[in-house]
Copies of this chain bind each other. A is one copy, B any other.
């Protein structure tokens, strides 16, 4: 690889923006990209010899560092059939090559109907990103491409091939041989490696890469040079200190307040309401007592070595407060104040100062501008929004919004029946950021599933590394706020132009095994389900509904809008269902349960029907659409609790048709007993789809 480096160094010292075609190919060939045979020719005699060796028809090109896109300037002639044509083209190109200080190449003519494209580009903070897709004019028109960030693993490369819409053409297609996926994958891995090993290479386009007899062969390439950026951080953090945040044995509220409805008062009420069992200290220059607790007049006065400080002071007091805390051995702080870089220039310089102080003192900080964090197993919260006692559960959230530990928690507490383990509001994340919290949750026995709302990634590389590990055994579900479709503006290569931030984030999440959702509401709906039910082992759903229209429309929804299947049951199961039902209904999956319910009562019909489908090896999950109305009778619902107990490995969800008041009381009965319910009939299926994706992330990587 020394030669490669010297090619690059030489080009840079020549002031080149792009590598010559020969150099580009030398670099790419060294990383395993196969190219069409070609020869540099300096005279007609050489050209004739080259063409003779390669065999007609051939391609002739002018290659010059001054030209990034040859086709548009007419510097390629394909299909040269004989010496006659060769001579005419050579004369013309030889002249052009001189003008452009370039060279003339004779190349093998590669024929194949399938044209692909691949490339590499660098994105700020994400590092080298590899692209793959349909080539030719369709690259731009259809935008049918997939990305991954380097380093790629083999399964990433294979997943990219399955991700493009035109993936059909990679298989046996119109009598063509299937593309050698291993070979194609090796090329993609090679591009990732180039990106990691040669920071001066900024963009690469290989377009087209033609498929001949199943083998990919590149016929043109462009390598763009650039100034190496900072290497993205990928230092693994040590999360030991987060214990001080989530399991503090002593806490001090700095800026405690006597006045009701002030943040400095509400935070104390919250801590008390949750039954915090550690030591609670308060600081306020006025001293005295607040809510039965002694108030210290200064930080200096406090005993040494308090685990955690919650600072509820104006932004300007931040740097000084951090120093004072550090001096007292308080090394973990939650900074509630807003008014930093998110507001104005003054706030920005205050923020910079704060970063400096954090670095100097080594104090670890959550925030500023955070609404706090929650840790129910430790009966603790630093939230200053009046929350009261927070329901304990096994769901943990990471949220880059003040919304979460405040009114969204309020909604979860009042509108849903599941509880949370940990919640962290990241605020401006001057110090502690998402990947550290993620690592803490990964090892947290109280956390069964992790939900994330994020607007930006502070260290994408570190995040990816940690997420790759945790998603193998815990579901991680992420809503990305602030999607932008904008591509890079100054891009030379097409790869760079279509690598929008959102596309790359999508790639990172797929690589990380994180399931991306596109509705804020799914942050609760999916949490509710995973909180008490197992993940579905596959995407094969059965459901029981009281109406043919529902059977039809929900099947369409599962298979058309989602990636679920509604498969046939084994014949023995089908027959058992048929035995349950009046004859005039032909029983199958999905299950038309209404006639059975009329004949045998709702309870028996749904109980027996669900048992049959859950016993079937083809079924991974069941949804009960209960019809509840005065006239038809509302059965006791214990049987559903029993079903959940009898089939602990298959999730059971409930939704409704009929009268609102019965739906509400069914929810109030079922949810506290661990059976999730959903007001709209599509919702349980949307959630199953999300959780099935989580599950397949665990298996397929």
**Residues in A lying within 8 Å of B, measured CB to CB:** 72, 79, 81, 113-114, 134, 137-138, 140-142, 144, 165-166, 168-169, 173-175, 261, 339, 343-344, 385-386, 399-404, 407-408, 410-411, 414-415, 453, 455, 479-483, 518-521, 546-550, 552-554, 556-557, 560-561, 584, 627, 629-632, 657-661, 663, 679-682
B518 touches A410 (CB 8 A): no
A548 touches B403 (CB 8 A): yes
Q: Which one of B72, B141, B414, B455 contacts A175 once the chains associate, using CB atoms below 8 Å? A: B72
A173 touches B411 (CB 8 A): no
User: Told that A79-B79, A137-B169, A403-B550 touch, could you supply 16 new A-B pairs with CB distance under 8 A?
Assistant: A137-B174, A140-B168, A140-B174, A142-B168, A400-B549, A407-B546, A410-B629, A410-B659, A411-B659, A415-B660, A415-B663, A455-B549, A482-B556, A520-B557, A520-B681, A521-B682
Query: A410-B659, A556-B482 in contact; A401/B548 too (CB < 8 A)?
Result: yes
Q: What are 15 A-to-B residue pairs whose CB atoms are below 8 Å?
A: A81-B81, A134-B138, A141-B166, A141-B169, A261-B631, A385-B631, A401-B547, A403-B547, A410-B659, A411-B657, A414-B660, A415-B660, A453-B549, A453-B553, A482-B552
Per the bound structure, the CA–CA distance linking A361 and B453 in Å amounts to 66
A479 touches B553 (CB 8 A): yes
B681 touches A521 (CB 8 A): yes
Per the bound structure, the CA–CA distance linking A134 and B399 in Å amounts to 44
Report, nearest first, the 7 A-B pairs whose CB atoms are least far apart.
Answer: A401-B549, A415-B660, A403-B547, A481-B552, A414-B660, A141-B169, A386-B631
Q: Which residues does chain B contribute within 8 Å of A553, judged by CB atoms?
A: 453, 479, 481, 520
Q: Which residues does chain B contribute within 8 Å of A404, judged by CB atoms?
A: 549
A519 touches B410 (CB 8 A): no
B141 touches A168 (CB 8 A): yes
Closest chain B residue to A551 by CB distance? B481
Query: A631-B261, A660-B414, A663-B415 in contact; A339/B584 too (CB < 8 A)?
Result: yes
Q: Which residues does chain B contribute within 8 Å of A521, judged by CB atoms?
A: 680-682
Q: Which residues does chain B contribute within 8 Å of A482, judged by CB atoms?
A: 552, 556
CB distance from A341 to the nearest CB of B (A): 12
Q: Which residues does chain B contribute within 8 Å of A557, judged by CB atoms?
A: 518-520
Closest chain B residue to A480 by CB distance? B556
Q: Which residues does chain B contribute within 8 Å of A455, judged by CB atoms?
A: 549, 552
Per the bound structure, the CA–CA distance linking A455 and B556 in Å amounts to 12
Q: Which residues does chain B contribute within 8 Å of A546, judged by CB atoms?
A: 407
A661 touches B414 (CB 8 A): yes
CB distance from A601 to the nearest CB of B (A): 15
CB distance from A290 to the nearest CB of B (A): 19
Q: Which residues does chain B contribute within 8 Å of A113, judged by CB atoms?
A: 137
Q: Which one of B386, B480, B682 contacts A519 once the chains associate, using CB atoms below 8 Å? A: B682
